[in-house]
Chains A and B, each alone.
Chain A
Amino acid sequence: MIEKTIIRADVFAKATGAAMYADDLLFDAMLYVKTVMSSKSHAEIESIDCSEALAVPGVVAVLTAKDVQGKLCNPTERPILALDTVRYIGDGVALVIAESLAAAKRGMKKVKVNYLELPAVYDTEEALTDGAPIIHGTSNEACHWKVRKGNLAEGFAAADIVLEQDFTTQRVYHGHMETEICIAEPTPQGVNIYCPGKAPFYARQPVADALNIGLNQVRAIQPVVGGSFGAKGTDAGIIAARAAIAAKHTGRICKIIYSREESMVECTKRHPFKLRYKIGAKKDGTITAMEIYGLVDAGAYTSETKRTTARSCVEATGPYVIPNVMTDIIGVYTNTVSNDAMRGYGSPQVDACSEQIMDELAIKLGMDPVLLRRLNGLKEGSLSATSQVMTGVSLDECIDKLVEKFDWYERKERIAKSKKHGDKVRGLGMACMYRGEAMGAGAIDTAGVNIHVEKDASVKIYAGLNEVGQGGHTMLASVACLVLGISDKRISVARVDSAYVPDSGPTVASRGTVLAGNACQRAAEQIKEKLAILVAGNFKVKPEDLSFANEKIFITDNPEVSMSFEKAVQACYNAGKNVYGFGWWCAPDSWMDPDGGSCEPYFSYVYGACATEVEVDLVTGKTEVLAFAAAHDVGHALNVMEVENQICGGVSMGIGYALTEEILMINGRVDNPNFRWYVTPTAVDYGEIIPIIVEKPSKFGPLGAKGLGEPATSIVAPAILNAIRDAIGTRIYQMPASLEKVATAISANKGGKA
């Protein structure tokens, strides 16, 4: 298999400061829009007085929900602006439009909203009790997914050991470096929106709904995107709709840019989970049963809660063969900031817990944690928790490579010999995963790519899937290079513009490589076929006798007979043919059974295994990740360097999730809406990251490739938490494992193993 590392085309502009992000775009006579956010967790809006705000010099208009002619939102979804009820501190209430950002800010402070406060609920368990304030409809239950397999009672009866444990995972923030932003430009029939995000086509819908116009009148033009990680989806749609309303109202170009604080208060987060795990196993380590019950905080609106919790329910057992399973994952509304997709959505939460209970089981059985996972791990043809027959399973390959490259057993021996270093103790931990590829059951999972080969044989790729910074567009160039046997120097990839590219859904669910990559491969293969027919005629051979490589088309059995790619393209044009390809790819069927019966919720799965060595300071409770190794099966690494760097970035985000990151809420208010108190990892906060590429070609992906973005983060936290347990002899069940929690655990454990 050919492996290539091509340099991303977008990095030259990014390295010189020339790349144009939304905030860098220059328009004349632009207006600025600020959102007045609810200061109440749950309240009815009695009245909104805009008069003082309108009197602020520079303020052009103040708009409320009543000024929106079209639809504000679907039921249970977050409105563009709240009409009569606010459901969390951050809900948009009014828009202040002004000649300058400063005037808009001044006006924002002068909008007077009279609220009739309603009782609020901030906790998922409380929200499900009788008499709790109801946030939507008649119940706070947003959704309830089930998985049922075998007979749970028999499974636990057959066990020699049963463990039961509660866990919680915290609410975290994407931390995209570029905050939410949109510029809306009114056009005679509609609006153009410059709104960086993961889902430019989705963002058009709330705009069209709010303005009562067709999607064909909303043109989404993507500037360079400064990071997503699952953010800039739902939020981008809402912000785009607000900017569009302002633009249509004033007839001028309107810009909304969020401050970091606004981003952290209003915009969506990762769902916090409360999970109870019960696991039964034989003395030899064979797992007999698993029971999982989870409450998921949806926040005030549905957003991506259903899809996130469905994924959690499917993946809750971890990558193991469990004959008897009962899983219930319930989404619950609370009066807190809405939760949505964030890198891995639904996987990291259950992975954190399933991999800790596995670790605990290994300790209780006195078994090597690697061996326990190998013993129970999914194999080719195994039945998953939803009784899906698993194919393309690569868990063992990931574990093998991890153990080898991380020197797992050597490290273990070394730590056993010298565990304590002054006031610090060391520990080792590991974790494994499987994860459904792409969006899964119930989603429209399709993508399209156009490729134009110009007369000079330069190539332009127009993809419907957005580049959010991850390198997805370079992946497309790699696919086209490999199919057509040409240099990446010929290729450029256009940024998404809904006027010219097919709707390919969002850049989420690690679906970019599989979905858009496949579409790109098909488009490139159409071009290849067109060129092959022409060249074959020239050489008097059959098209299938030809190969494409090194910028040439040649007879496979007689490489001396060749034509350059460039000449072939020109000959095609001269013959009156086009050199154009359009590829469309639709994910294979997937479905979920609402009653928990057997189903195939994802068409394919990816596998991974991670391990880490940590050092815990017994005085301060600080955990330092000394080394972290992450093995991921990517099927076929289309760009080795980018794959490795994607793993490093994912590990970094996972380290933050494990140790420091947490959105703190006090009575529904975000208490740390800034990077001073919301602590993401910096360059000095951890040691070496060792990315390990495993390649077991997928039968679904382009040239065998699989998605990676989210797997890279999914099992970082449990590996670290298991290593902390190994180091100090106590487990942290409530993430993150902050200094305070670890120090408390050490203190409680004095005289113990540490």
Chain B
Amino acid sequence: MTDVSALRREGRGPAQLKVRALEAWYGESQALYGVDLDVYPGETVTLLGRNGVGKTTTLRTLMGILRKRTGEIEFDERSILRLPLHRVAHAGMGFVPEERGIFASLTVEENLMLPPVVARSGKEMSLDEIYTLFPNLLDRRHSPGTKLSGGEQQMLAIARILRTGVSMILLDEPTEGLAPVIVNRIGEMLKSLKAHGLSVLLVEQNFRFAAKIADHFYVMDHGEMIDSFAVGELPAKREALNKALGV
């Protein structure tokens, strides 16, 4: 793998998230075999790879949900490997899971208000801003969270993390199973996050979608990184990617 991250490092302060030689296990079975990854402040980085290569596992391991792990995870130049799970959000990292995690026993508004505000970084969104951006959440705020459509649930899942003021958000396949119109809205939303200065680590199968918002790409296979390149190199990589992703 060409060390593009070394090139990127030039002239740009330290990475906000720096991952080295990360390995992780589900019980006895190893799922990550040495993941290296950098996310710079304000960047949107996309993790590509076929089903089952370990993208979700990577996010869960970074967040500290999967705890059987070795290697190095530095966030804002501080190791977060030993932090208990509930401290990671307070360090500034937010997680939106693949299955969205909207709670059925909570109303839309309770879902939205559930995660504690962890930082007043200036990047957090107020409830008013969220409702202005997503008027349908306002209309449905008293209904159970899971009564929303798939697209609305995805927006709720992202919006409730934005409210907390984290400076980086880990997003697992936000467009999965959604209609094209909704996918576009989520794309707009991610652009506005970027404009706010949030860093995003995005897992996405749909790389035409990812190409519109990502600054940098990583490609995973069998629990490790097999490629890394900036968005500018995408056209040259297209052929190889189609093969690697089995599109």
Q: Do A and B bind each other?
A: no
B residues with CB within 8 A of A = none
A residues with CB within 8 A of B = none
